[in-house]
Every structure is written in structure tokens, then in C-alpha cells.
């Protein structure tokens, strides 16, 4: 099977990038499943049922999230009733929502049914709020998920490159792929780890790339110059979609290939 993972969607420009470019990518790459991180899709911070609906309507099958989960109060509706929306697994017991799910996939050409587990986990280094240990919780959850399917994708939402690399190595051979989000800068270290797990430190982001991580550059510079609070509006120009296409062996759940994606809206 082939899946596409799309990095952190930033604001309306990011949603437009997914809406505009995903249909072409589905056809060109013969995609079976699409996952996207939507935690910045509502005005550049948080997610709402409306922005989630736009992302699903564009062709995304599952939406993951991260540390901006609570930035929009409407997220409670998603956490309470949308099974295709995931929040980080390592929130304390009793937190609304769920950190993983198993979803059915169907190959339109051959009619073969299979399933994929998607796991959303948040790192702890330089991250707020501090959550439970992602390594320990992910290990237990992966063991549970493997009883249902060998195809497991992990969105590891974390700041520190070292923590991301360690996490990928920790799960090597137990999951199909570990791809990082949160830092919004697509890295060039895509690889298949020794035991068959596809890995990429950060998928990048769909949205405007003429600013700073999707925001207008002047307020960011002013914040660094003065230390004073600023309003970081979403930028507008050079809109791109970043992510990775991963090919997985259905029988073993091991990754065969990983390729970065960087597409630009033209015109």
C-alpha cells in the first residue's frame, strides 16, 4: 500500500494547498490512504470542526494533532465524536479523545481490504504541556495495535531532533513508519531504518513559505528584537504542501520506500 502523510497544516493557505494539490497527488502517486496533521489549521493555531471538515472533504482520511490541540474551544466537539481525529496518546487518563485508531483501507484497483493503525504521540523535550513518557506509552500501545494490524503509522509531534531520532529507532521494526511534526521545516533525512521502519524527522508544513514557519515575518523579527508579545498572523505567499509518501508491504507491515513531497501552488 501507499500512504501520504501531510505535515502541520497552517491556516487557510495550508487548507487550500491540501484542497488544491491532494487530488493530483492521489492520482499521480496511486495513494491508498492519507493522513495529515491539522493542529494549526484554524487561523494558524488549533483546529475546529469546520477546518477539520474542509480537510476531510479534501481527501484526508485521518487527522492528527499536537501541542496546539486546545487552542480552539470547538475542538471538544471533535474529541467527543470524530473517530478520524486523534490527539496525542500520552495525555493523562480521562482526557477526551483518543491517541490511536485502526482504520479500514481498500485498494480501488484490486478490491483488497486491509487495515492501518495510526498513532499520535507528543514529545516532552522543550514541549508544553509536559505529558507522560511517550516511549513507554507508545511501546504498550504498539503492542496492542499489532494484534489487529501490522501496518502502523506514527506521527511523533516533538521539538527536539534527538528525541525524534531516538523515538524512531526505539520503534524500528515494530511500526511501519515514524514521521515527525511540529517544527515545520522539512528535513532531508528520510530513510528506511535497519528493521524496516520508514523515518523522517520532520514532514514540513502545507501553507505559506514566505514568512517564518507560516507566519508573517515582521512580527516574528520584532518579537526577537524587543521581547514584547506580538500577534503572529498567517502569511500569504509561496504556498506549498509538504509531506512524505511511504510504500508499505501489506503482509509484513515493513516499509519499502519513503519519499519526501514538496508541491507548490502555481498561478
Break the chain into its structural domains and give their ranges: 2-264
Average pLDDT, the chain: 96
Instruction: For the domain made up of 2-264, give the CATH fold.
Output: Purple Acid Phosphatase; chain A, domain 2 (3.60.21)
- Contact assessment for residue 243 and residue 203, using Cβ atoms and an 8 Å cutoff: yes
Count the Cβ atoms, other than its own, within 10 Å of residue 184. Answer: 20
The Cα–Cα gap between 39 and 148 comes to: 27
159: which DSSP letter?
S
Enumerate the active-site residues: 68
Q: Please, what is the Cα angle at 59 between 234 and 213, to 5 degrees?
A: 20
The sheet with strand 198-200 has its strands ordered as 100-106, 113-122, 152-157, 177-181, 198-200, 191-192
Q: What is the pLDDT of residues 200-222, one digit of tens each?
A: 999 999 999 999 999 999 999 99
Dist. CA 245–CA 31, nearest whole Å: 8
pLDDT digits (tens, 9 = 90+) for 25-66: 999 999 999 999 999 999 999 999 999 999 999 999 999 999
Residue 83: pLDDT band with limits 50, 70, 90: very high
Flag whether pLDDT at 110 surpasses 90: no
pLDDT of the residue at 266 = 78
Amino acid at each position: 500500500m501507499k500512504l501520504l502523510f501531510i505535515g502541520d497544516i497552517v491556516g487557510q493557505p495550508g487548507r487550500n494547498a491540501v484542497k488544491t494539490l491532494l487530488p493530483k497527488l492521489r492520482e499521480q502517486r496511486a495513494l491508498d490512504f492519507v493522513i495529515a496533521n491539522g493542529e494549526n489549521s484554524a487561523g494558524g493555531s488549533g483546529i475546529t470542526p469546520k477546518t477539520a471538515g474542509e480537510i476531510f472533504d479534501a481527501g484526508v482520511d485521518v487527522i492528527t494533532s499536537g501541542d496546539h490541540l486546545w487552542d480552539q474551544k470547538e475542538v471538544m466537539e471533535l474529541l467527543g465524536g470524530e473517530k478520524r481525529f486523534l490527539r496525542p496518546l500520552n495525555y493523562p487518563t480521562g482526557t477526551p479523545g483518543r491517541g490511536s485508531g485502526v482504520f479500514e483501507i481498500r485498494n480501488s484497483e484490486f478490491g483488497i481490504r486491509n487495515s492501518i493503525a495510526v498513532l499520535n504521540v507528543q514529545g516532552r523535550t522543550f514541549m508544553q504541556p509536559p505529558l507522560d513518557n511517550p516511549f513507554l506509552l507508545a511501546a504498550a500501545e504498539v503492542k496492542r495495535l499489532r494484534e489487529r494490524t501490522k501496518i502502523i503509522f506514527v506521527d511523533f509531534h516533538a521539538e527536539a531532533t534527538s528525541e525524534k531520532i531516538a523515538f524512531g529507532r526505539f520503534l524500528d521494526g515494530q511500526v511501519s513508519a515514524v514521521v515527525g511534526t511540529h517544527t515545520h521545516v522539512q528535513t532531508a533525512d528520510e530513510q528506511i531504518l535497519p528493521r524496516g521502519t520508514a523515518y523522517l524527522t520532520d514532514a514540513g508544513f502545507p501553507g505559506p513559505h514566505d514568512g517564518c514557519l507560516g507566519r508573517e515575518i515582521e512580527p516574528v523579527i520584532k518579537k526577537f528584537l524587543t521581547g514584547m508579545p506580538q500577534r503572529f498572523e498567517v502569511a500569504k505567499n509561496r504556498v506549498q504542501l509538504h509531506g512524505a509518501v511511504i510504500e508499505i508491504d501489506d503482509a509484513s507491515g515493513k516499509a519499502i520506500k519513503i519519499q519526501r513531497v514538496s508541491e507548490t501552488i502555481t498561478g
